[in-house]
Structures are given as C-alpha cells and as structure tokens.
Chain A
C-alpha cells in the first residue's frame, strides 16, 4: 500500500525528529546540571554551608561594678526565660495558651510575640517571657517533652543590690536601639535579651563592661532545631570596674534623705576620690533592666522631684552664700587684709538703690563676715576688687568646669563676668550685678559636684580633681596659687559657721568628741522677692508651695583642723541651708567617722519621719489644715539675699 509506505516514512521522519528533541533535552538538562554543579559549585556549596551551620552567639557576662572596698554595686543574677520556635510549635495560639497557664501573658505581650513571629523566619526563636522566676522555669521544663518548639532559656540579668541609691551614678542597662545596631553592625546587639549601658557608669564604661561574645557553631536543620554542636568559642566576660564610692556611705546618705529631693557629694580631699555621689530621688535601675513599665516611666517624668535628672552633675543651682568663701579668697588675693572691717547696719546703699542684709551685724571682719554670712561685708569687698577677680577665683576653685569622670554628661553652669555678659547679652557689666554675684545670687550657677570640688580645694589647699575610678593611677595635685595663711582665714570663718558663737550652722555641729566640721550654709532664691513683698514682710518658706521654696545648700569639710573629707549638700526647695542642708551634711560626715553613731541617729530620724508622716496622714484624714500638722525644721537665721528694694 503506497499510503502505508508514505505514512511510515512520515512517521519515521517525525519519530526521528522527536528523538532529536529528546537528545537535545538530554543535552540541555545535563548542561544545566553541569553549570550548577561545576561553574556555580562554589556559590552553592557556600549556600549549603550557610544553611547547615548556624553561628549562635554566646553573649558575654557584663563586668561587675564595685565600690572602693570591692562591695558589689552592679552584678549579674541568673534569670530564666522562655522562647518559642514558631516552626516547631505548630499552633501558636495553643502553645501560648499552655505557656500562659504557667506564666501569665498580658495582651500586650501577646501582641509583641505575634509581631515578632510575623516579622522573622519561622525557625528563629521568639522570646515569649523573660525573667519568669525559677519555679515557672522548672514548671515549663516539665512540659518540654510534650510541647514542640518550647525552649526554656537561662541567662543573666543585671542586678543592682542597692537599688535607687546608686541609680544616677550607675545608670541602667537596656536593649540596644536599631540605630546603635546600624552604627556598630555588631550582631551581638541583635541577640534577644542583650542589654547595653544606657546611662551613668554603665553607659560611659560600656566598652570595658561589655566583654566579648563567644560563639557556638551548630548544625541546624531547616526548622531551626540544633542537630549537633560543631565547635564553641567561649565568651570573654566584661572587666570589673572599681569605683571610688563608699557603698555604705552613699546608701546611708540615701536613707537619710528619704523622699526628699537632694544631692550629696563627698570627696576625699587628699586623693580626689568621690566617696558619695548621691542624687535623690532616683529610679531603681533593677526595674529598668527589664522593660520599663510605661506607667512608671510617665510617673518618673511627671514628678516635680525630677527623679530622672542626675542632680549632682546636671542639676544647676544658684550657690547663694556658699559662694562667699570664693569672694573672700578673691579679696585676700587682691590684697585686702583679713582684718579690714566693715560696719553692717542691715543695708548697703549704692546710688539710689538699697541692698539688704539679713541682719545688723555691726563691725565685721572677714572671719566674722563668713561666720555670720554678712552680705554688706561682701558687697563692700566685691566692689573694691571688681567682679572679674571674684569670677577668676571661682574658676580656680573648680566652679564652671567639667571634670574627667566616667559619666555621660555634666553641666558646666555659669560663672558670670564682663566678657560673659557682653557675649551673652551684648551689654556691659553693671555694679548691681557685681553685688548680686558676689553673694552667689543672680546669674551664678553651679552643680553640686563643683561645689564639693571647691570645698575640697579650699580645705586641702590643693588643686583637687575628682575621680570615680579607683584603679586609675592617682596623680599628685598641684598646690592652689594662694598662700596658706589666706586659706586659713577662710577656713577659720567656716569653722565659726558651725562651731563659733552665732554661726549659722551651729545646730549642725558634729556630735563627736574629737572631730569638728567647718562649713558654709547657703540659701538660693527660687523666686524674686518684690519690693511690695519686702514691705509686707517676706513670707516664710513653709507657707509657700514646695516649688517656690528656696533651695537649701551647705558645703563643709571635716576634720576642721586637718581636712580629709569635703561635702556639698543641695536640698531642693528645702528652705534654708542651715535648717535643711547642714544637718544632712552632719549626718553623712558622722558616718565616715563614727559609723555606729550615724546609724543610731539615722534610725531615730527615720522613726521621727514616720511618726510625722502618720501624723500628716491623720491630719489630712481629719481634713484639718495641712499647715497646722506639718511644721518642719526650725526657722534658722536666713541668709537670703536682698534684691534691689
């Protein structure tokens, strides 16, 4: 059949064609495979290895922070948490419900967990709860067998045994920000639960404290389960940091201040060691180590006691009369003999204005002027030597300066002089400003650390520089560019403030047999006293709302005859330096010389404080007038400066 033969030829041709197609396909497939396996072998071998091997970081343990005696201020405590691998867990909601039965999970926790799960590959563990306590951890461990994807984890959490007493010095640790990761590109910052220093020493010494992460190379399967360990490089813990602080002293000071808003700085005059750097009230860094509760954060921000501000370094205050020793030293340096006297009849006239003193002191020389805090004497001397001499002396004493400390920030404050005035306001300096500045009012602004340094320099005669790191090499200080006898005059005046007849801080003498304290009170106006008010009679501090009361200041040193410690105290809105600040200084310094005595006093103070609080509560309950119930410290002699009247 011709048709059949034709059909067979067609068939054969087409079958041969399809055979060719098959051969071509075979060549194509083999070629493709050769391309993948040979030409691109390196790339895919790497990808396969990247799949197989997972580098798991071992976060380093953070270095301890200890006080001068080696007592821990910041340490690490073991913490237990729970993670979930979504790829293994199956039904996430059911898994969370099971975990929730052991560890309560709030709605916001669940929201965060679900966000985390959605944002990451399913094989990456998601933190469900941290710091759940050992019992919950043990309970979860029992569920391991029947819950896939559950991972109890052990880690370390920063712990601050002294709580808020060292809040501002130490700062706190918290999770790194996305920006910090972008800058450093350090994978450690992405490690769940890893914390870095956010403030204080924790922030300033972060590189020392952090240490180096270790790593574990593990073989993982596609679902993130670890098949076996390949090798491990151990972590290097951060180095311990020893501070010059005295844990007992600062804790004592914090307890003494209680709820009050105050800053207390104690410096060792010989070494510059900062023994106490208290800013109260503060936050509890233990709470900040974990997630900061937003309600707490709001409360801290809203509080008028400013618990988030490190007052000892960043709080700026008008120094008031604590500035007078500077003016006195400036006068001596300018050649004014300490015996030069001034007659104080309660007022000082300059042009058509009258400047007030807070008493009629009669004939005062320098020593008496300091002891009595006589404004008229300092007005007279400051006008004689000029303001710039006073400002220069203030800088020599350490005011208006920042010091080398492992702290993230310090505020410099202001020591006003002619150049400053011109630059700031474009106006020439006036004599009225000289009068205001020389008694530490007006534009003069200092921080408590500067006041303490000033006191230490005055007490030791050395250019004391404060230090906070105990293991830093000690440097010998230069002597101050002042003759010893001039310093002695001022120190004598300050001795009289506390111990002399009619001294402003006589009530705060150290109650110790062999140690005396020298010092100077100060009261810094928060509001301006108007002429009308002055005519009516100045309103007593206790009658004012807290925010409008004067700041109470005190600087001191002890022992008076061979000064070892210098102290500065600022009690915000405390009323008067003598009434609120000097007793604090007395009790804190007592701790350094007679610890037992100090603790007994503190116990009595706390009992009294509680009695008053109960009384106040009762009074409030009875809806009695608040003023009647809470009469505070006795009204000491005021060193309030007078404005133009």
Chain B
C-alpha cells in the first residue's frame, strides 16, 4: 500500500495546519505584491510566487533532514557562513564599497542572512554539550558571546544594522533559553542601556540620523522621516477594513517608499485595514506559538534550543519590521517574512521553517 510506504507516511506526519498557514501568509503576500504593482503580476508577484513555490519545496525537503545531522554539522555550517562573511567583507573592502553578497552567477547570496540561522544552530550545539554547571561560569559564557560578537561585528561593518541586530537578538535568545543565570542577563542588560550613548556614537551618520528622526519623524518630513510619516499615513488611513483591494493611494501613487519590500505591511494595511493587519499578526502568532511548543515538548537540549531560537528569530523579524513600519522602532532594513518582495529573506525564513519542521518530527527521539 502506498500509504504505508515510508515516504508518504513521513510526509503525512507533517503538521499540515502550520504548513498551510505558511502558504496562506505567502499567498496573501503575493496578493499584496500584485496590488502594489498597480494590479499586475509583474514585476513582483509572479517572480515572488515562483520563488515561493520552489522554496516551499525546499522547506519540505529540509523538514526530512535529521536533527542529528543538524547537530553534527552545526559548527561546520557556522564556520562556512562566517568565512563567507569575512570573504564579502574583504571583497567589499577591495572594491571600495559596501558589499553584502556573494555573486554566484545565478543567485546572489547574502552570507549575513544565513548567519541568522547558523548562529542558532551553533549556539544550540554548544549548550547541548556544555555541562550544566558551566552555564553560569566564565568558561561557559565567553565562547557563545564570541560566536555572537564576531559575525555581528562583521555585519555591522557592512554596514547592516538590522541584520546585526537580528544575529545578536537570536544568539542572546538561545543563551537565555540555554539557562544563563538571570544576573548575567539583567546586569549586562542594564550596562547595555547605560552604554547606549556610546553605541549611538559608533553608528554611521545615516544610522544616527535614522534614530534621531525615529524619535521625531516630523523634523524631517521630506527626508528620512518621510518613510515613517508616509507609512503611518498609509496604515492610519486604512481604518478598520481598509480602502479595498487595489484601492490604496499611498502605495499606488508612490507616496509610500519601498512599498513592496520593507514597508509592505503598510501597503497591506492601507488596503486591508486593521482587520487584515490583525489577521496577519495572528497568523504569525500561531506559527510562533507552534514553534515554542515544539521547543517545550522536545526531549533534547539541542532540539529545544534550535526550535526556541528559530522561533525567536522569526519573532524578531516580524516584531522589528512591523514596529518600524508603525513608527515604534527606527527604520532598519528588516523585511516582513514571507510577504516582503525579495529572495534572500524568503529563503532564510523557509529554511528556518524547514529546520523547525524537522525538529518537530524528532522532538521525541533521542539524538544519540
């Protein structure tokens, strides 16, 4: 019988509710991109749709990868991505500009995107093998901190504040879940807040300006504050149920910048209103909740931490993007997962989901 064969069973065992939710979010993204192009499949919706289909397939294939394999290759993956990061940095320095990608001819890869995942895997592996007693000791703390700091610093140099933030946030989430004593969390947390002015001074001028304008967008209505102002107008003018599909003037008349990438949420909110926005956030919430539940049900530290860390990474994507679009956070370049136009982020998120699905499959099985 076909249904008793090994592969169909494994496929049927997948949490299809969550997968359908992913498809629904991505599909809604395509609808929004279709509208953002003025009611046209081109240039965004069709390309994004193809990409989405291919990457969904890749996600399903990744979901079959054994957790043991991820454990074994966690460090090599981290090392390769880190090397690639150094590579683009060096190439960028040589070509005299900021360069964030590796051009492989058929695709441009941003190593920093993969680092968001690699850092989770590597730290999960580290804590998986770290004896409990060392979690709060210096010997158990500096390696993960170094593993976070080195790639984050490299990405900062690119400069890509948003991605660096994601790496740090994801890494710290794993350290937190890994059991780092609370005093080591709140102490440095307070120190970091105290150090904010210093950090601020380390930022690039345009990044400083973004932060300042975030605090007072009206101070620069035609410049950098324009993004936030126009985005708030799009969301606010949408009202409860929105202006209707294809009726968004802010996006169609190009008042909303980056209407198909970082500010796609505003494009969506203008036409679908609070109802659309709340439903989208709810869908993400369900996926995140499922991710955390996978983590909490898992028997091994590695699976727990990978599932929890990836769930948090996805959470940071959504949180930072939506907060930025609503004027609650400075404008940093973070796309909205599965909705924003673009290949790199979509690939990262679907790989993330693939790994997460794999972890879900093996939450009951021991790793050794």
Contact A221 B273 (CB under 8 A): no
Contact of A51 among B235, B249, B277, B323 (CB under 8 A): B249
A483 part of interface (Cβ distance < 8 Å): no
In the assembled complex, the CB of B94 is this many whole angstroms from the nearest CB of chain A, namely: 29
Which of B132, B239, B289 makes the CB contact (< 8 A) with A7?
Answer: B132
Check if B149 is an interface residue, CB within 8 A of chain A.
no
- Please encode chain A, from 220 to 238, with 1 for each CB lying within 8 Å of some chain B CB and 0 for all others: 1111000100000000000
User: Looking across the interface, which residue of chain A has its beta carbon closest to that of B314?
Assistant: A22
Which of A30-38, A208-216, A273-281, A525-533 lies at the interface with chain B? A30-38
CA of A95 to CA of B301, assembled, Å: 65
CB contacts (< 8 Å) of A18 on chain B: these are 173, 176-177, 292, 308, 312
Chain B residue numbers with a CB within 8 Å of A49 are 237
Q: A36-B236, A37-B239 are in contact. List 11 more A-B contacts (CB 8 A).
A: A10-B179, A15-B308, A18-B312, A22-B285, A22-B289, A26-B281, A26-B285, A29-B281, A37-B236, A44-B237, A220-B253
Is B240 interfacial (CB 8 A cutoff)? yes
Q: Which residues of B contact A30 (CB under 8 A)?
A: 277-278, 281
Contact B249 A33, beta carbon cutoff 8 Å: no
Q: A26-B285, A219-B253, A222-B254 are in contact. Are A51 and B233 (CB under 8 A)?
A: yes
Q: Contacts A15-B292, A18-B312, A40-B236; is A33 near B250 (CB within 8 Å)?
A: no
Query: Which of chain B's residues 318-366 have a Cβ closer than 8 Å to chain A?
Result: 319, 322-323, 326, 328
Which B residues, 165 to 184, have Cβ-Cβ distances below 8 Å to chain A?
173, 176-177, 179
Q: Mark A15-47 against chain B: 1 for CB-CB distance below 8 A, else 0.
A: 110110011011011101110111011011101
- Decide if A11 is an interface residue (CB 8 Å cutoff): yes
A-contact bits for B272-296, CB 8 A (1 contact / 0 none): 0110011001100100110010011
Q: Are B238 and A7 in contact (CB under 8 A)?
A: no
Known A18-B173, A19-B289, A51-B253; judge A37-B296 contact (CB<8 A). Answer: no
Which residues in B have their C-beta under 8 angstroms from that of A38? 239-240, 274
The 5 tightest CB contacts between A and B, nearest first, are A44-B236, A48-B237, A221-B253, A222-B254, A36-B236
Q: Verify if B315 is at the interface (C-beta below 8 Å from A).
A: yes
| Choice from A26, A43, A222 contacting B236 with Cβ under 8 Å | A43
Binding site of A, secondary structure by majority: helix, strand, loop or mixed? helix
Given A19-B292, A38-B239, A41-B239, A47–B253 Cβ distance below 8 Å?
no
**A-B contact list, 14 entries, CB within 8 Å:** A7-B301, A15-B295, A18-B176, A22-B285, A25-B315, A32-B326, A36-B236, A36-B326, A37-B277, A38-B239, A45-B239, A51-B255, A219-B249, A222-B253
- Chain B residues with CB under 8 Å of chain A are 132, 173, 176-177, 179, 222, 230, 232-240, 249-250, 253-255, 269, 273-274, 277-278, 281-282, 285, 288-289, 292, 295-296, 301, 304, 308, 312, 315, 319, 322-323, 326, 328
Task: Classify chain A's interface size.
Answer: 35 or more
Residues of A within 8 A of B274 (CB): 33-34, 37-38
CB distance from A331 to the nearest CB of B (A): 79
Known A-B contacts A38-B274, A44-B232; the reply to A52 vs B253 at CB < 8 A is: yes
Q: How far is the CA of A381 from the CA of B240 in the complex (A)?
A: 97
Tell me, in angstroms, the Cα distance from A517 to B215 when the chains sit together. Answer: 86
CB-defined contacts of A404 to chain B, threshold 8 Å: none
Cα-based distance from A44 to B295 in the complex (angstroms): 42
Once the chains bind, are A29 and B179 in contact (CB under 8 Å)?
Answer: no
- Cα–Cα distance between A44 and B176 once the two chains are bound (Å): 40
- The distance in angstroms between the C-alpha atoms of A348 and B198, with both chains bound, is 102
Q: Which residues of A contact B (CB under 8 A)?
A: 3, 6-8, 10-12, 14-16, 18-19, 22-23, 25-26, 28-30, 32-34, 36-38, 40-41, 43-45, 47-49, 51-52, 121, 219-223, 227
What's the Cα separation between A40 and B233 when bound, in Å?
Answer: 10
Tell me whether B236 and A41 are in contact (CB under 8 A): yes
Contact present for B250 and A51 (CB under 8 Å): yes
With both chains docked as a complex, state the minimum distance between the C-beta of B180 and any C-beta of chain A, in angstroms: 9
A14 contacts B176, C-beta separation under 8 Å: yes
Check if B234 sits within 8 Å of A33, measured CB to CB: no
Given A26-B281, A32-B328, A220-B253, residue A44 in contact with residue B177 (CB < 8 A): no
A29 close to B176 (CB less than 8 A): no
A583 to chain B, nearest CB (A): 67
Q: Are A11 and B304 in contact, CB atoms less than 8 angstroms apart? A: yes
Give the docked Cα–Cα distance between A204 and B81 (Å): 80
- Chain B residues near A34 (CB, 8 Å)? 274, 278
Residues of B within 8 A of A12 (CB): 296
Q: Indicate if the CB atoms of B176 and A41 lie closer than 8 Å.
A: no
Known: A37-B273, A52-B249. A223 touches B254 (CB 8 A): yes
Q: Which residues of the other chain, B, contact A221 by a CB distance below 8 angstroms? A: 253-255
**Set of chain A residues within 8 Å of B312, measured between Cβ atoms:** 18
| Cα-based distance from A618 to B319 in the complex (angstroms) | 92
Instruction: Pick the contact of B132: A6, A29, A32, A48 (CB < 8 A).
Output: A6
Closest-CB distance, B151 to chain A (whole angstroms)? 22
Chain B residues with CB under 8 A of A10: 179
Q: How far is the CA of A18 from the CA of B288 in the complex (A)?
A: 11
Which B residues are CB-close (under 8 A) to A219?
Answer: 249, 253
Task: Given A22-B315, A38-B240, check contact A15 B253 (CB 8 Å).
Answer: no
Contacts of A16 in B (CB 8 A): 296
How far is B235's CA from A41's CA once the two chains are assembled, in angstroms?
9
B239 touches A48 (CB 8 A): no
* B289 partner residues in chain A, CB cutoff 8 A: 19, 22
For B235, give its contact among A14, A44, A121 (CB under 8 Å).
A44
Q: Is the CB of A121 within 8 A of B253?
A: no
Chain A: which residue is nearest B288 at the CB level?
A: A22
Contact A121 B222 (CB under 8 A): yes
In the bound complex, CA of A7 to CA of B178 (Å): 8
Q: Which listed residue, A19, A29, A43, touches B322 by the CB 8 Å rule?
A: A29
Whether the pair A15, B235 counts as a contact (CB closer than 8 A) is no
- Chain B residue nearest in CB terms to A46: B237
With beta carbons under 8 angstroms apart, the residue of A7, A22, A36 that contacts B179 is A7
A227 to B252 alpha-carbon distance, docked (Å):
10
How many Å from the CB of B291 to the closest CB on chain A? 10
With the chains together, A26 CA to B283 CA distance in Å? Answer: 11
CB distance from B3 to the nearest CB of A (A): 35
Q: How far is the CB of A13 from chain B (nearest CB, A)?
A: 10
Q: Which chain A residues border B319 with CB–CB below 8 Å?
A: 25, 29
Residue in B closest to A33 when the chains form the complex, CB atoms: B277
B250 touches A36 (CB 8 A): no
Once bound together, how far apart are the Cα atoms of A334 and B319, in whole Å? 104
Name the B residues within 8 Å of A6 (CB-CB).
132
Q: How far is the CA of A45 from the CA of B273 in the complex (A)?
A: 12
Task: Considering the complex, give the chain A residue whose CB is closest to the CB of B284.
Answer: A26
Contact A48 B177 (CB under 8 A): no
Smallest distance from the beta carbon of B36 to chain A beta carbons, Å? 14
A10 to B180, CA, bound (A): 10
| CB within 8 Å for A33 and B326 given contacts A15-B177, A222-B253 | yes
Q: Which residues in A have their C-beta under 8 angstroms from that of B269?
A: 33, 37
Smallest CB gap from A221: residue in B: B253
- B294 → chain A, closest Cβ, in Å? 10
Instruction: Write the chain A residue with the least CB distance to B257.
Output: A222
A10 to chain B, nearest CB (A): 5
Alpha-carbon gap, A95 to B308, bound state (A) = 57
Residues of B within 8 A of A29 (CB): 281, 319, 322-323, 326, 328
Report the bound CA distance from A223 to B322 in whole Å: 26
| A225 vs chain B, min Cβ distance (A) | 9
Asked if B179 and A11 make an inter-chain contact with CB atoms under 8 angstroms apart, the answer reads yes
Report the minimum CB–CB distance from A297 to chain B (whole Å). 36
Tell me the minimal C-beta distance from A540 to chain B in angstroms.
Answer: 73
With the chains together, A19 CA to B292 CA distance in Å? 7
Shortest C-beta distance, B178 to chain A (Å), equals: 8
Q: Name the A residues within 8 Å of B254 (CB-CB).
A: 221-223
CA A88 to CA B301, docked complex, whole Å = 58
A399–B207 alpha-carbon span in the complex (Å)? 77
Q: In whole angstroms, what is the CA distance A45 to B235 when docked?
A: 9
| B249: chain A residues within 8 A (beta carbon) | 48, 51-52, 219
With A26-B281, A36-B232, A44-B235: A3-B132 Cβ-Cβ less than 8 Å: yes
